[in-house]
Amino acid sequence: MVENWEKLQVYTRDMKLQLKPLLLGVAVVAITCMTIIALILTLVHRQSAELSYSTQYGMVFDAGSSHTALFLYQWPGNKENDTGIVSQTLTCDVKGDGISSYVANPSGAGQSLRECLDIATATVPASQYSKTPVYLGATAGMRLLSLQNKTQSEEILKEVTKTMQSYPFDFRGARIITGMEEGAYGWITINYLLEGFIKYAFDGKWIHPKAGTILGALDLGGASTQISFIPKDPVKDPQLAFDLQLYSYRYKLYSHSYLCYGKDQALRKLQAYLQNTSRPSSTVDNPCYHKGYNLTLKLGDIYESPCVVKPTPYDPLVQITFLGTGDSALCTSLIEKVVDVTNCSLYPDCGFNGVYQPPVNGEFFAFSAYFYTFDFLGLAPRASLFHVFSTIASYCNKTWETLVTEYPKVKEKYLRDYCFSANYIMVILLKGYKFESNWDKISFQKQVADTDIGWTLGYMLNLTNMIPSDRPLVVTGVQNSQWAAEVFFIVFILFLSLIILGILCVWGPTS
């Protein structure tokens, strides 16, 4: 018995001696292999996660009264709830005038969009076409046309729809947006780009920026102009109040769009006023045009718009000639005759033409034609009131001959209109919106973070639900389920290795 017992002990000891290096080897190999596998799996997980986060695209046509432009945006996929993440990939200017000018040839409006759609097709990866939403929003030019002739405006929208649907993108509609939307979306664009709604802090938390970091928006188009801001006190007229809930915060926005008060329609009003006061003469001085610049128009060019009242008698083919006199002060006083800055009968607070407006509040960005005009005159982003007035006066005072030699590359239409536009801007900003004591709060800007300021980005963010009404969740680099799988796998390997090492320890040193 004793002999057998000793034999068994010797046998076991020999076995242990033989197995120990084997088990140790197995443990080391297992730990190494599993660590490698864990690393590979982690990498694979991350890679596949990155693939599923491929860049997404969205685009919006801004069909303005004077021209149409396409804006293509991109953002990392599945991170739509983040903020400050959407950026502008490209812009494309559609050749020709705005879509409302295609009354006689509606299919031409559709055709005009093709060039930009082709460029977008070449830019967006083919795999993303069907996931790329495309919108068209038409503004005041089409608003006016639909007032004049609804059938014609519908015909044009039908044609642009047809063209957009013939591309492989996710067509989400072509419509006329309201003035209120135009104002509110411009305001959303600015504050989204400036991270005024929500900020991603260094500690990984979403924070709501301090009050006062929200800016107001001033947009000057050709046919309408918009003002949008958060007033100090609640908006009294519910028709001009825009209630928004963005990332759990409520904003009570004041927004108004003045139809017919874009700079091109305002110029028509001025021309109509001059024509009316000069009748029956067929020539009249225009102090908003430069000395040496004469312009002959048919009455139809002035009066074929719902923004002006036709005279009686009226013959659209009769001609009138405007003779430029380049007098800034006179130009301003004429503008004050077509923009009613005195009529505030309904409310103590008002903008112009009797429209209710609470006192302006906070900082503002002025974009579109505000920017083009002030940038051309070297007054952007900011200049003192004194400098602004003297610059405008000396520009208006230049003869047409001097201007053409000084700026050979600038379009005649723009060069001719900057004097009027600059004076118009000063009238509506100072006397209309009452920025007299807040002039230094306005900054004339075109872009924020390489993205154009306009209503299109806000429109897309809203329609694709990229600005949730509630606070976004913190987004990690990979999906949560993948994280869980990876963590579980690593813990499992460590556990297994510990068991093997434990067995070795229990068997203890044998030699």
Ligand X SMILES: Nc1ncnc2c1ncn2[C@@H]1O[C@H](COP(=O)(O)OP(=O)(O)O)[C@@H](O)[C@H]1O
Q: Which are the catalytic amino acids?
A: 182
Q: Are 366 and 218 in contact (CB under 8 A)?
A: yes
- Structure-token pair, residue 176: 């006329």
The sheet with strand 319-324 has its strands ordered as: 283-286, 319-324, 294-298
Kindly indicate which of the ranges 24-32, 89-97, 146-154, 222-230 contains the residues binding ligand X, using the contact rule CB under 6 A.
222-230
Least CB distance to ligand X at residue 138 (A): 8
Residue 226, token pair as written in the block: 């918009």
Q: Is 226 annotated as a binding residue?
A: yes
What are 451's strand-pairing partners? Answer: 448
Peptide bond into 313 cis (omega under 30): yes
CA angle 21/26/30 to nearest 5° reads: 150
Supply the DSSP symbol for 93. E
Closest CA to 455 of 233, 142, 137: 137
Nearer CB in complex with ligand X: 229/370: 370
Q: Which residue is at the shortest CB distance from Ca ion?
A: 221
Q: Write down the least CB distance from residue 425 to ligand X, Å.
A: 11
Could you say whether residue 458 binds Ca ion (CB under 5 A)? no
Q: Does residue 141 interact with Ca ion by CB under 5 A?
A: no
Tell me: does residue 221 bind Ca ion (CB under 5 A): yes
According to the annotation, is 222 in a ligand binding site? yes
Query: Interface mask (CB under 6 A) for ligand X, residues 260-289, using x and -?
Result: --xxx-------------------------
Q: Which does 140 bind (CB under 5 to 8 A by kind): ligand X, Ca ion, none?
A: ligand X
Contacts with ligand X by CB under 6 A: the residue count is: 19
Candidates 273, 347, 407, 414; binder of ligand X (CB under 6 A) is 414
Q: Does 133 bind Ca ion (CB under 5 A)?
A: no
CA distance 493 to 471: 38
Closest to ligand X by CB, 200 or 414: 414
What are the distances in angstroms from CA 394 to CA 52, 181, 328, 385, 413?
Answer: 58, 37, 8, 14, 19
How many Cβ atoms from other residues are within 10 Å of residue 245's Cβ? 12
Q: Please tell me whether residue 423 binds ligand X under the rule CB under 6 A.
A: no
β-pairing, 241-246 with 224-229?
unpaired
Name the minimum Å distance from CB 179 to ligand X. Answer: 9
Amino acid at 23: L
Backbone dihedral angles phi then psi of residue 249, each to the nearest 5 degrees: -105, 145
Contact 290, 418 (CB under 8 A): no
* Among candidate residues 435, 271, 281, 410, the one with its CA nearest the CA of residue 352: 435
Task: Read off φ and ψ for residue 491, nearest 5 degrees.
Answer: -60, -40
* Secondary structure (3-state) at 423: helix
CA dist 396 → 23, 288, 319, 325, 327 (Å): 94, 7, 25, 9, 6
Residue among 260 and 383 whose Cβ is closer to ligand X: 260
Q: Which string of x and - marks every residue 182-211 that binds ligand X (by CB under 6 A)?
A: ------------------------------
Does 137 interact with Ca ion (rule: CB under 5 A)? no
- Least distance from Ca ion to the Cβ atom of residue 352, Å: 19
183 is a site residue for Ca ion (CB under 5 A): no
64 contacts Ca ion (rule: CB under 5 A): yes
Least Å distance, CB 386 to ligand X, is 24
Q: With CB under 5 A as the rule, give the number of residues binding Ca ion.
A: 2
Q: Cβ neighbours of residue 498 under 8 Å, at least 6 residues apart?
A: none
Q: Is 98 labelled as part of a ligand binding site? A: no
Q: How far is CA 88 from its chain centroid?
A: 9
Taking CB under 5 A as the binding criterion, the range among 56-64, 76-84, 238-246, 394-402 that sits at the site for Ca ion is: 56-64
Site string for ligand X, 349-378 (x = CB under 6 A): -------------------xx--x------
Tokens of 273: 């006023």
Q: Which stretch binds ligand X (CB under 6 A): 135-143, 328-336, 398-406, 457-465?
A: 135-143
Q: Please identify, using beta-carbon distances, which residue of 221 and 326 lies nearer to Ca ion.
A: 221
Q: Which stretch binds Ca ion (CB under 5 A): 63-71, 111-119, 194-202, 457-465?
A: 63-71
| Minimum CB distance to Ca ion, residue 403 (Å) | 26
Question: Which residues are within 8 A (CB) of 326 and not within 5 positions of it... i.e. 6 or more apart?
Answer: 287, 289, 290, 291, 396, 397, 398, 399, 419
Nearer to Ca ion, 356 or 418 (CB): 418
> Is residue 109 within 8 Å of 99, Cβ to Cβ?
yes
The one-character DSSP state at 196 is -
With contacts defined by CB under 5 A, name the span among 11-19, 35-43, 80-88, 221-229 that binds Ca ion.
221-229
Q: What is the distance between the alpha carbons of residues 32 and 41, in angstroms, rounded to a whole number? A: 14
Residues near 354 by beta carbon (within 8 Å), at least 6 away in sequence = 340, 343, 344, 345, 346
Q: Does 171 bind ligand X (CB under 6 A)?
A: no
> What string marks each residue from 80 to 99 as x (binds ligand X by CB under 6 A) or -?
------------------x-
What's the min distance (Å) between Cβ of 346 and Ca ion? 28
Q: In whole angstroms, how close is the CB of 139 to Ca ion at the nearest point?
A: 5
Q: Give the footprint of ligand X on this chain (CB under 6 A).
A: 64-67, 98, 139-141, 221-224, 262-264, 368-369, 372, 414
**Residues in the annotated binding site:** 222-226
**Residues in the annotated binding site for ATP:** 222-226
